[in-house]
Amino acid sequence: MLHPRRKIYTNANAQNLLKEQHIEDDGHDHDHAHEGHGVWRQYLPSIISLVMLLVGIVLDNYIEQDFFKGYLKIGWYVLAYLPVGFPVMKEAFQAISKGEFFTEFTLMVLATVGAFAIGEYPEGVAVMLFYAIGELFQSAAVNRAKSNIRALLDVRPAFANLLKNGSFQSVQPETVEIGETIQVRSGEKVPLDGEMLSEKSAFNTAALTGESKPRTIEKGEAVLAGMLNLDKVIELKVVKKFAESSLARILDMVQNATSRKAQTELLIRKFAKIYTPIVFFLAVALVVVPYFVADNYVFSEWLYRALVFLVISCPCALVISIPLGYFGGIGAASRHGILFKGSNYLDLMTRVNTVVMDKTGTMTEGVFQVQEVAAEGIAESEMLKTLAALERQSTHPIAKAIAEHTKNDPNPFQATEVEEISGHGLKGRVNDKTVLAGNTKLLQKFGVVFDEKLAGIVETIVVVAIENQYVGYVLIADKIKEDAAEAIRQMHENGVRQTVMLSGDKNAITQKVAQAVGIDTAFGDLLPEGKVQKVEELKADKSKVIVFVGDGINDAPVLALSDVGIAMGAMGSDAAIETANVVIQTDQPSKIATAIKIGKATRRIVFQNITLAFGVKVIVLLLGAGGLATMWEAVFADVGVALLAILNAVRIQRMNFK
């Protein structure tokens, strides 16, 4: 039942998957889900054949009449056969013209035409009808999984605002030349490597460096593709073509990757190629050999047995049950916000025992929030209102975090004479008092006395002084994701023996986060090559099947090195998403355990389908060869088992993996 051109696409990158599906939809396997009338066109031939078959059976067996005989009866069943039989005959002819004789199409045509030749008209129609219905079920199951996968793909627009003839025009980054000027608005990703022409701006560099703290880049400094502009509209001079960037090289490598199938699926397909010609010649032998050895040889009787044998032996139940099992798993994962780029990764997830993860954007939100407020000699609310008055005058991400924290204050203070002291913080007047807000260096600069312990705090701290008197501080930190601790617990429950965190952030912060969520081992202050080294050390133990989870461009080498690379897709960099084997679109670390559960459930379903297909087929093959099975049993052994396998595969998508 598997169309030779109906490939199950699981390429290693999302854009190729979309392209291939588009090509496929333009070919034989049309996308029936696009329009309602397309669905009816797809089902209409089977409906016509079913109605005509039922009418013929009723006239043949339940109504006494004299007209439904001879050529009228044959013609009726031929007309019932053609809507579902003609497409298969066409496929068989095309396969034979390419030298592929031993296909399911050829077996089906031979068996059903043979049934007509010996007068078994209803059985001939029924075999082809149920075969067509099986195709429809298969198509529905595959298209459902495809639509779920398509819905997950975050295809971000790639453009650059290029200065041309005195105005900025949106163009493809590939068309921009070195030396040209581009504009990047607030909230946009930098499309190309460049040199800052504007005075300065703040950038989120987490995708590149793994650091949670935004970085201020000033005029003349380098800005890299993939950074997110957080501050104001800026202009850059392009210093590298798009194709020369590390991001482009990674994307090119991934786009040329081949599709990946599970080992079980590959073995079954190889088996089917050998199995099909063997059973065909056995069917021929079933007609010929008894002529020489059997008493009272009746050709039509042994031909019927051979035709039953052919229908039973058709490998579609075997070939379909495996890919659809994996496609059911991929579809189930997509419903939970997880995109698998190959069925082999579903298999690998069942054996994962070591999970290595990045910190920023993976276990933490990757955004600044006020975590702690401490006041001395002043009410906490008054200190916050005083601080917020200054910070509202700044566009720095830390200032925005404080402003966001106090946005619901009904009576905010107002600040005047606010000035930024580069590298230190802000100075201004609030309620006719001089206020300082910034790092500890700012207070030292103005001779303000404060507790030296503040300098040892590893998180980002904003200290406040009023009239040169220290009054407190606000702690700003990256928030740990709500389900991070639960994610680690579920991983351990599902067979993960070791969890490791690797981060480019400060080691003290990394250890604090690891301890808070229950991670076994953590390493901070790592460059991308340091992460690679740590994973290579883990891989030295061949008993470990390693998953790495990350979201930044700096994570791409480790994603490629691990057995299964998982990217956080909502906030993650394009490079991480393209390089990864699995994408968690919801950015929830608890989905790692969900992916493991889905992989294990899929494997169970696949082996159930293999056992069912082999078991029933062997039993009915023996019965058919002995003359104890008719075409109806053959239909069940082939199409019936395939339908059961399909329904079993679809069952995965309705399972609860929470």
pLDDT tens digits, one per residue of 47-102: 999 999 899 889 888 887 788 888 899 999 999 999 999 998 998 899 889 887 77
Tell me what pLDDT residue 340 has: 81
> Active-site residue among 193, 347, 358, 483?
358
Structure confidence at residue 620 (pLDDT): 75
Q: Which residues pair with 472 in a beta bridge?
A: 375, 464
Percent of the chain's residues with pLDDT above 70:
79
Q: How far apart are CA 658 and CA 648, in angstroms?
A: 20
In angstroms, the CA 266 to CA 344 distance is 10
Whether the pLDDT of residue 8 is over 80: the answer is: no
- Specify the domain boundaries for CATH 2.70.150.10 within the chain: 160-255
Encoded tokens for 541: 């133990």
Write down the residue that tokens 């504007």 correspond to. 198
- Mean of pLDDT values over 421-446: 88
What is the model's pLDDT at position 574? 61
Q: Is the model's pLDDT at 241 over the cut of 80? A: yes
Distance of alpha carbon 296 from alpha carbon 291, whole angstroms:
9
Which residues make up the CATH 3.40.50.1000 domain(s) of the chain? 343-365+481-596
Split at pLDDT 50, 70, 90, the class of 261 is very low
Axis-axis angle for helices 14-26, 121-152 (nearest 10): 150
Assess contact for 306 and 287: CB atoms under 8 A.
yes
- Lowest average pLDDT, out of 139-143, 326-330, 438-442, 609-613, goes to 139-143
Q: Give me the pLDDT at residue 245, please.
A: 63
pLDDT of residue 14: 35
Can you give the pLDDT at residue 369? Answer: 82
| Of 316, 284, 295, the residue nearest 128 (C-alpha) | 316
Contact (CB, 8 A) for 405 and 431: no
CB atoms within 10 A of CB 648: 19
Taking only the tens place, the pLDDT of each residue in 193-229 is: 899 999 889 887 765 544 556 778 889 888 887 778 8
Task: Annotate 601-634 with DSSP letters as a single string.
Answer: HHHHHHHHHHHHHHHHHHHHHHHHHTT---HHHH
- Read off the tokens for 623: 């019965």
> What is the enclosing helix (H) or strand (E) of 565?
strand 564-568
Dist CA 509 CA 475 (whole Å): 13
CATH 2.60.40.420 for domain 160-255, yes or no, is no
pLDDT band at 611; cut points 50, 70, 90: confident
Query: DSSP character for 189?
Result: B
Cα 134 to Cα 328, 384, 439, 657: the distances in Å are 16, 67, 69, 28
**Of 633, 559, 656, 641, nearest in space to 307 by CA:** 633
Q: Say which CATH topology domain 343-365+481-596 has.
A: Rossmann fold (3.40.50)
Is the pLDDT assigned to residue 548 strictly greater than 90?
Answer: yes
Residue with the bigger pLDDT between 651 and 184: it is 184
- Sheet containing strand 200-204, edge to edge, reads 215-218, 200-204, 228-229
Over residues 478-497, the pLDDT tens digits come to 888 889 999 999 999 999 99
Q: How far is the C-alpha of 629 from the C-alpha of 116, rounded, in Å?
A: 18
- Higher-pLDDT residue of 155 and 228 is 228
Q: Which of 32-46, 407-421, 461-475 has the lowest mean pLDDT?
A: 32-46
As a whole number of angstroms, the distance between CA 418 and CA 173 comes to 39
> For the chain, how many residues are written?
658
Which helix (H) or strand (E) segment holds residue 167: the answer is strand 167-171
Question: Which pLDDT band holds residue 5 (cuts at 50, 70, 90)?
Answer: very low
Phi and psi of 233, rounded to 5°? -65, 130
Checking if the pLDDT of 653 tops 80, the result is no
Residue 483: active-site member = no
Tell me the per-residue pLDDT of 561-597, one tens digit each, with 9 for 90 and over: 888 989 886 555 566 666 778 888 778 899 999 999 9
Higher pLDDT, 585 or 42: 42
Asked if 329 and 346 touch (Cβ cutoff 8 Å), the reply is: yes
Question: Which of the four pLDDT bands, split at 50, 70 and 90, describes residue 126?
Answer: confident
Say yes or no to pLDDT of 35 above 60: no
List every span in the chain annotated with CATH 3.40.1110.10: 367-480
User: Residue 649: what pLDDT?
Assistant: 74
Q: Which pair of structure tokens corresponds to residue 639?
A: 């199409």
Cα–Cα–Cα angle for 297, 299, 301, rounded to 5 degrees: 90
Q: What's the order of all strands across the beta sheet hosting 364-375?
A: 364-375, 469-480, 460-466, 433-438, 425-430, 415-421
Cα–Cα distance between 124 and 303 in angstroms, integer?
A: 14
Confidence band, pLDDT 50/70/90 cuts, at residue 499: very high
pLDDT, position 231: 82
Q: pLDDT category, 357, cuts 50, 70, 90?
A: very high
State which amino acid sits at residue 343: S
**How many other CB atoms are there within 10 angstroms of residue 187's CB atom?**
10
SS3 495: coil
The residues, ordered by sequence, that sit 6+ positions from 481 with a Cβ below 8 Å of its Cβ are 363, 364, 365, 487, 587, 588, 589
C-alpha separations of 392 from 145, 384, 395, 414 in Å: 48, 12, 8, 9
Do 96 and 106 form a contact (C-beta atoms < 8 A)? yes
User: Residue 638: which pLDDT band, with cuts at 50, 70 and 90?
Assistant: low
Region of residue 583 (phi > 0: left; psi between -120 and 50: alpha; otherwise: beta): beta
CATH T-level fold of 367-480: Calcium-transporting ATPase, cytoplasmic domain N (3.40.1110)
When comparing pLDDT for 156 and 471, which is higher? 471
Round to whole Å and give the CA distance between 36 and 414: 60
Distance (Å, rounded) from C-alpha 277 to C-alpha 557? 45
Question: Of the segments 199-213, 268-282, 421-435, 609-623, which one has the largest average pLDDT value?
Answer: 421-435
Percentage of residues in the chain with pLDDT exceeding 90?
A: 21
Backbone angles phi, psi at 250, to 5 degrees: -65, -45
d(CA 41, CA 404): 55
- When the pLDDT of each residue in the chain is averaged and rounded to a whole number, the result is 78
Query: In the structure, what pLDDT confidence band is assigned to residue 266 with cuts at 50, 70 and 90?
Result: low
Contacts of 584 (CB under 8 A, 6+ apart): 337, 338, 549, 566, 567, 568, 569, 591, 592, 595
State how beta strands 160-164 and 181-184 pair.
antiparallel
Q: What is the pLDDT of residue 595?
A: 92
**pTM for the model:** 0.60
Per-residue confidence (pLDDT) for residue 394, from 0 to 100: 83
How far apart, in whole angstroms, are the C-alpha atoms of residue 375 and residue 408? 20
